[in-house]
Amino acid sequence: MAGFGWSVGDLVSAISVVAKVSKALKDVGGAVDDYRETVLFLESLNITLTTLHGLYESNADPSVFSGVQSQLELVQKPIDAFTEKVKRKLESVFNSTKKDKGVRATAKRTSGQLEWAFWLDKQSQVLNRKILVPLTGIQIQLGIHIHSVLATIANDVTTKIEKKINDAIPLLLQQNLAPIAALEHRRHTEEHDLNTAIYRKIESLPQIVADTVDISLDRAQKSDSLRSKKLEDHCSLIIETINRVEKLQQRNLHASPKISAGTELPSHGPQSCSSFSTSNETIPPASSKSGESKQSEHDSKVLAELFFKSMTRNNTDKSTPGVSELYNNKQPATEYPLISIRQAWEEAAVHFRRLFVIQCIFTIGPANKLKNLLANPRISRILCRIMV
């Protein structure tokens, strides 16, 4: 017995009979349109019975048949009765036509087919009237079940596909994006290292600037110290030369009574003039102590210009022999003091020109030493004689 109370044999027999009846009505020549509705009914019944048999063979859930159990009971007996009638009628018709031969047998067989078709149509209509309502209910229930099965299958397929996608896509993305992620990570690391190096350089920039400034200041201080040392040396030489000139001048004054009245001073010697002209400017002699400061300031300015001119002139002159060379010269005894004084003045002028050249080259730093030296009234008056 099937799960819904219908034996499998009876169900298969009913399916076979319904299919044969439907085929027999289709094969009746010229009367197909007369049996169209009957054929459609039989085909629908065949599909329904085949579906029930398929559910039974697939071991479907018994709850599926519980919903159609009452309708199946209504259609089972009429279908079984229809099957038995058709089987008996089919055997009698087959046996009667099997013995007949010839034209008469053919005509008889044709009339029998028409009668047979008419009878099948009548029996099918009777069956249709009996099981139409319950059969419709069974078909509706089977349609609902099929729809639910299809929905379940669709959901299962969707779930399986989604699971496959969820399992496969991340793995594929991970495999394909791994090189890109590695490249991005490497780029980010390089950028971070570069930014770190830039920040470190920026942080160390104040220290670098400070060190550079310190080095520059040290170099400037050393250079200023060297200039100051050179200026101090030349100032010392000038002061020593001036002191020596004053001493020689004192000796000359003491020795002047011994010189004859007709002896003339050399025209090329240093002139002891109280004033001299340079370009269009005249340096007046120091007349009084009250005007000594103004005179020294004026003399300093004039001396600066005069030193620059005499420096240019002195570069083309031959070097003047030293004081020590005068002792080897054969000069008269009466001219020795004047020549020594002149030579000393020239040496002082040479030293002062060198000092002035250094001051012109290095215009910063120890320049105040030369300014202070020129501001000395005593040295200023003496240097006026040197530069004339």
- Predicted confidence (pLDDT) per residue in 261-309, tens digit: 444 444 444 443 333 333 333 334 434 444 544 554 454 455 445 544 5
Average pLDDT, whole number, for the chain?
A: 70
How confident is residue 328, by pLDDT bands cut at 50, 70 and 90?
very low
Average pLDDT (164-186) is: 86
* Alpha carbons 24 and 38: distance in angstroms, whole number: 11
How confident is residue 64, by pLDDT bands cut at 50, 70 and 90?
low
Neighbour-count burial of 366, counting CB atoms closer than 10 A to its CB (0-12 exposed, 13-18 middle, 19+ buried): buried
How confident is residue 193, by pLDDT bands cut at 50, 70 and 90?
very high
What percentage of the chain carries pLDDT values higher than 90? 5
| Model pLDDT, residue 195 | 92
Q: What pLDDT digit, counting tens, does each position of 12-21 carry?
A: 888 888 888 8
**Residue that wins the pLDDT comparison between 90 and 376:** 90
| Model pLDDT, residue 349 | 67
pLDDT beyond 80 at 66: no
| Model pLDDT, residue 271 | 40
How confident is residue 111, by pLDDT bands cut at 50, 70 and 90?
low
Q: Which stretches within the chain are classed as H helix?
A: 8-27, 36-57, 62-66, 69-98, 102-255, 292-316, 336-361, 367-374, 377-387
Least-confidence region, from 130-134, 194-198, 318-322: 318-322
Burial profile 39-78: b = 16 or more Cβ within 10 angstroms, e = fewer: bebbebbbebbebbbebbeeeeeeebbeebeebbeebbeb
Q: What residue segments make up the domains of the chain, in order of their start?
A: 8-171, 268-387
Find out whether 73 and 118 touch, Cβ atoms under 8 Å.
no
Element (H, E) at 278: strand 276-278
Q: What are phi and psi of 282, to 5 degrees?
A: -125, 130
Average pLDDT (1-8) is: 61
What is the reported pTM? 0.40
Average pLDDT (76-95) is: 81
Place of tokens 């005007």: 291
Q: What pLDDT digit, counting tens, does each position of 223-259 carry?
A: 888 888 888 887 788 888 888 878 887 887 877 655 4
Average pLDDT (125-154) is: 86
Average pLDDT (38-60) is: 85
pLDDT beyond 80 at 141: yes
Distance between first and last Cα of the chain: 157
How confident is residue 189, by pLDDT bands cut at 50, 70 and 90?
very high
Least-confidence region, from 48-52, 143-147, 247-251, 316-320: 316-320
Q: How many Cβ atoms are within 10 Å of 283's Cβ, its own excluded?
A: 22
How confident is residue 158, by pLDDT bands cut at 50, 70 and 90?
confident
- 164 SS3 class: helix
How confident is residue 194, by pLDDT bands cut at 50, 70 and 90?
very high
pLDDT beyond 80 at 383: no
pLDDT beyond 60 at 82: yes
Average pLDDT (24-45) is: 77
pLDDT beyond 80 at 178: yes
